[in-house]
Amino acid sequence: MKKILSAALAILLVSLGLYLGAQQLDSSSGGSASSKKDLIIYNWGDYIDPDLITKFEKQTGYHVIYETFDSNEAMYTKIKQGGTAYDLAVPSDYMITKLRRDNLLDKIDTSRLSNFKYIGKEFLHKSFDEKNEYSVPYFWGTLGIVYNDRYVKKGEIKSWNDLWKKKYQGQILLVDSARDIMGMSLVSMGYSMNDTNSAHLKVAKAKLDKIGKNVKAIVADELKMYMVQNEAWIGVTYSGEAATMMDQDSHIHYVVPAQGSNLWFDNIVIPKTCKNKEAAYKFINFMLEPKNAAQNAEYIGYSTPNTAAQKLLPKSVREDKQFYPPMSTVKNLEVYRDLPSSKVQEYNDLFLEFKMYARNYLTENFRKRKFHAV
């Protein structure tokens, strides 16, 4: 009997040791079992000044675990699976609608955010969160056109329709995004960037085919590098990407066509998986502090919705109409809506057809590179 009891005791001790070891390993590896002092943030890559994370940790004693995603869809899938207990995430406008609809977000009590008052009223009550119950504005920006004045005269490009001119043959880079490029074509014809009329979508695609000869490549993040290296004259991209290019090359300029474009928002949300709400609220409030928001805006290059932070930015930045456009332009900008899955697929299919068509005209030296159009 003693041998049996000894063996049972030994098995119990080994099992306990294995359990404790597994718990320690899971905690140290950033798994779902996080410490009460951990704050797990899910954000786009390189989308916060690392010095601000260090500053927050020193001020509060919390330890930030920072994970990144490269698309709203990837972020949505990870949060829905629930494998990691994310305390905060930073989705874009239309994805906030989807997350809300699928009951994956907690409401945000703005009374716990003393710095929420610094958010400009023009950035609140948007269609994706009309009562501001689920999200806090983080950054905003636009879709527009970058061009190099070594090859394109300043002020020569004002409209989306300018991109169809024959003199730009083989000199335009397009961002690899169905909603943005189909939207560009729709707006150029007076339609909405959220249009779901199949006839309008087909006409927009047919017009895109006519720009095929002007397209040098359809790329993603590489667009910045190619423009700075003078490998193309013109690019269709986002305001923050444009800011990065302009910092590196004073000959590069950015314009948002007054006829209309996309106005996008990235907002901070609290997923249902949140385990540390106190830390989550402290972090949101920390990022809303004007000095911190201004520092973050200078680091990232996108436009801040924090009006007090805007005043702390260099005059050359806060008065730059390329990144803080006048209301005459803003009123024509559209926030993307979360379209039915069938329409999203229709956009994607038509854009893929355009890319296959445009491939016939892609410049030879770009054919040999690895980019999304091939």
Closest CA relative to residue 63, chosen from 35, 91, 43: 35
Show the tokens assigned to 17: 């040791």
Measure the CA–CA gap between 337 and 334, rounded to whole angstroms: 9
Give pLDDT, residue 358. Answer: 87
What are the Cα distances from residue 312, in Å, to 96, 272, 289, 295?
29, 34, 11, 9
- The pLDDT value given to residue 368: 60
pLDDT at 31: 43
Q: List pLDDT tens digits, range 146-160.
A: 999 999 999 999 999
Range of lowest pLDDT (86-100, 285-299, 334-348, 355-369): 355-369
pLDDT grade, residue 330 (50/70/90)? confident
User: Residue 50's Cα: distance from chain center in Å?
Assistant: 18
Distance separating alpha carbons of residues 164 and 182, to the nearest angstrom: 14
Q: CA–CA distance from 277 to each of 31, 42, 99 (Å)?
A: 18, 15, 18
Range with the lowest mean pLDDT among 177-191, 243-257, 358-372? Answer: 358-372
**Of the given ranges (13-17, 176-180, 357-361), which has the lowest mean pLDDT?**
13-17
Confidence of residue 305 (pLDDT cuts 50, 70, 90): very high
pLDDT band at 170 (very low <50, low <70, confident <90, very high): very high
For residue 267, the one-letter residue type is N
Q: 20-34, 173-187, 341-355: which range is least confident on average? A: 20-34
SS3 149: coil
Report CA torsion sign: 134, 137, 139, 145. positive
